[in-house]
Amino acid sequence: MQLRLRTKQLWTVLAWTILAVAATRPASTNSDASEIDISIKPGDDFYRYANGEWLRTNTIPEGRSSYDTRAMLAEKTSARVADLMETAASAPAAPGTIAQKVGDYYSSFLDQRSIEARGFSPLADEMARIAAIGDKTSLSAYLGSTLNSEVEGLTANADHVFGIWINQGFEDPEHNVPHLWQGGLGMPDRDDYLDPSPPMAALRDRYRAHIRAVFELIGEADSRNKAARILSLEIRIAQAFAPDSDSADVFKQNNPWKRADFESKAPGLDWGAYLQSAGLAEQRDFIVWQPSAVIGISALVGSESIEVWKDYLRFHLLEHYSSVLPKALAAEHFAFYGTIMSGAQQMSDRRKEAVAATNGALGQAVGQLYTQRYFPPEAKRRAQAMAKDLITAYHSHISHLTWMSPQTRLKALAKLDALEVKVGYPDVWMDYSPLEVARGDAFGNMRRAEAFNRSRNLARLKQPVDPIEWPINPQTPGAVIMFSPNAEFFAAAILEPPYFDSQGDAASNYGSSGAAMAHEITHSFDELGNIYDAQGRLENWWTAEDRAKYREAGEKLVEQFNRYCPFRDLCGNGKQVLSENIADLAGLSVAHDAYVLSLKGNPDVTIDGLNGEQRFFLAFAKRWRKLQTETALREQLKRDIHAPGEYRSDTVRNVDAWYDEYKATTGDKLYLKPEDRVRIW
Ligand SMILES: [Zn+2]
């Protein structure tokens, strides 16, 4: 769920017998009614009725602007993952096991004495390779060797010349192809280099000073002039980058190139040498996301002095490995990227960095340890059963849509039938046996892990498309919607209380994580997902008429949201949050039907005086609890495509069943006349 926009473009629950469970129900952590504020009438303010006690007894942690269920879960998960790594590091396991690899990767990263003792010597062979570059061909070959496969395709910019991601073709779902995208900049955005405003010019001065400082740490001569030339090269690289507005339009990224196109369309770089050392010598088809960048950077290889390129490569080599080289380099890295670019005052704890580095290198190995301890097969089974009920309920919703034309509806149903919804963790784990992890060798471990991921990814070019290859680690509290291929993944770490309790109450599970899953499923069919068909082919399967009717159906929801005014001078902007509000509404009503399906005609039990339906809606409202500062709330209202939690919780007022359960009637603040209740999906 923490995905950047570009990602969204591409990417972007049990035979549960109520009676048996009622008899043996363990303490449930997800249907706790003690946080209800009984002084509030649910029909007036359902959010505060459900969360009043929680909102009163919690505070925003210092240094933050908000606190919510997601933040709580993130804290819990980080503590668990750190604990797993600490345990693996302190009780050495048999060589070659995943526990050994995780433990040794983590402890080596923390072993700063060894890192200091080695100094910059681990870079010696790589530095020698750069020093040996003598012409355009050897430069091209070196650049090709830095083309590291981006593991999950989530990296917007690569820190080397061109990023690569192996995924199915936009028009050919049967075959994996290399997707090449722009890369090679040290600062994250094109505007960091090109915006002429004084603050951005000052940022560039600081970046140049940073490059110089990095060079001085390794005793490089003439660091001042070298820094200036590197910055000037990067500015010209940035000029070739596609404007940010292009990255919102995936059709602009679908540029199939044949092997021969590189020489004819993008002269300069020695493509034969580049692709050979990139491991792509035999590749005939590519997709070039930003042709201007490939053309422009290739020309710079031809026109720019080899010596400047060599300085550039030395600098980026140091940057790339700064976390596993002497502390002085990491401190300089932080002084620029942490303090100047992000405003952070303190370097994050080395342990936190070690956790992140180990997750990055050995994601699924950590995921195995995590799920063994925290996500038993029973949890997966229940989450799968819930997902199945959601799909069944969605099938019925789509079959009855009035705004969608019959031919589009058939395509939507075909897409739903083909959709893979995966929960918890992969059915088949990644095999880490070829990867050697050695205790006390942080640099070597990082380098070997990168090489391992790279060759594993390149191998996929020769393998059939695997739509259920997990793009997110089980220990990441999040989900990924893939549009191409057509699959969604809900990690074990997000299937946790208060969202999901494998031992707990089903009604609450459906109301919370069920509604969340159905929300994400909606995106595969709405104006995000409608440009990808059932196989993930880039093709808009809606008609113009479908779109017009869909937008018309959304009008009432826009108006509903426009009327929420938390401040006298600031109200909601219904258009800005419409697409997410529609998904919330669809998620809630589909999850409700799925919950009813899960009962198989049996009555649900009563817990703490609440029946199943009541717990379902209560859990939905509890998911949105959030404390935030006024500044943060104002900022969210102005910019976020997601509505503030309170109003997301108020989605319930559009669902008839909520009125039955909470006795909301005319005169209650949330009451809507039946004809004013919105239903889109
Ligand atoms: Zn959404």
Each residue's pLDDT tens digit, 445-467: 999 999 999 999 999 999 999 99
Each residue's pLDDT tens digit, 157-213: 578 899 898 999 999 999 999 999 899 999 988 999 999 999 999 999 999 999 999
Residues in the chain: 681
CB atoms within 10 A of CB 206: 14
Q: What is the mean pLDDT of the chain?
A: 92
478 C-alpha to center of ligand 1: Å?
Answer: 12
Under the banding of pLDDT at 50, 70 and 90, the label for residue 482 is: very high
285 C-alpha to center of ligand 1: Å?
Answer: 33
- H helices of 341-488, in order, are 341-342, 350-361, 363-374, 377-399, 406-418, 442-459
51 C-alpha to center of ligand 1: Å?
Answer: 22
Both tokens of residue 386?
């819930």
681 C-alpha to center of ligand 1: Å?
Answer: 14
Given a contact cutoff of 8 angstroms between Cβ atoms, the answer to whether 102 and 236 are in contact is no
552 C-alpha to center of ligand 1: Å?
Answer: 20
Scan for tokens 């969204």, then name that residue. Answer: 8
Using only C-alpha atoms, the chain has a radius of gyration, in whole angstroms, of 27
429 C-alpha to center of ligand 1: Å?
Answer: 28
26: cis peptide before it, omega within 30°? Answer: no
CB atoms within 10 A of CB 21: 16
| Alpha-carbon distances of 234 from 209, 229, 656, rounded to whole Å | 14, 9, 58
Each residue's pLDDT tens digit, 648-662: 999 999 999 999 999
| Percent of the residues in the chain that have a pLDDT greater than 90, as a whole number | 87
pLDDT at 150: 64
pLDDT higher than 90, residue 87: yes
522 C-alpha to center of ligand 1: Å?
Answer: 8
pLDDT higher than 50, residue 647: yes
Q: Which residues are in the CB-under-5-Å shell of ion ligand 1? A: 580, 583
Maximum separation of any 2 CA atoms in the chain, in Å: 81
90 C-alpha to center of ligand 1: Å?
Answer: 41
521 C-alpha to center of ligand 1: Å?
Answer: 9
pLDDT higher than 80, residue 25: no
**Measured between alpha carbons, how far is 195 from 182 in angstroms, rounded to an integer?**
19
144's CB contacts (< 8 A; 6+ apart) are 273, 274, 275, 276, 277, 278, 280
Greater pLDDT, 188 or 27: 188
pLDDT higher than 60, residue 588: yes
536 C-alpha to center of ligand 1: Å?
Answer: 19
Given a contact cutoff of 8 angstroms between Cβ atoms, the answer to whether 391 and 418 are in contact is no
| Alpha-carbon distances of 529 from 474, 479, 535, rounded to whole Å | 24, 16, 12
525 C-alpha to center of ligand 1: Å?
Answer: 12
pLDDT at 31: 72
166 C-alpha to center of ligand 1: Å?
Answer: 25
584 C-alpha to center of ligand 1: Å?
Answer: 7
498: cis peptide before it, omega within 30°? Answer: yes
516 C-alpha to center of ligand 1: Å?
Answer: 9
For 585, how many CA atoms within 13 A lie in the half-sphere containing its CB?
Answer: 26
520 C-alpha to center of ligand 1: Å?
Answer: 6
**Measured between alpha carbons, how far is 295 from 230 in angstroms, rounded to an integer?**
19
Given a contact cutoff of 8 angstroms between Cβ atoms, the answer to whether 448 and 435 are in contact is yes
Q: What is the mean pLDDT of residues 429-447?
A: 97
Under the banding of pLDDT at 50, 70 and 90, the label for residue 345 is: confident
**Measured between alpha carbons, how far is 624 from 584 in angstroms, rounded to an integer?**
11
**Measured between alpha carbons, how far is 489 from 572 in angstroms, rounded to an integer?**
31
Give the neighbor-by-neighbor strand order of the sheet with 176-181: 163-168, 176-181, 285-288, 256-258
**Measured between alpha carbons, how far is 44 from 142 in angstroms, rounded to an integer?**
66
Each residue's pLDDT tens digit, 382-399: 999 999 999 999 999 999
pLDDT higher than 60, residue 276: yes
pLDDT higher than 70, residue 430: yes
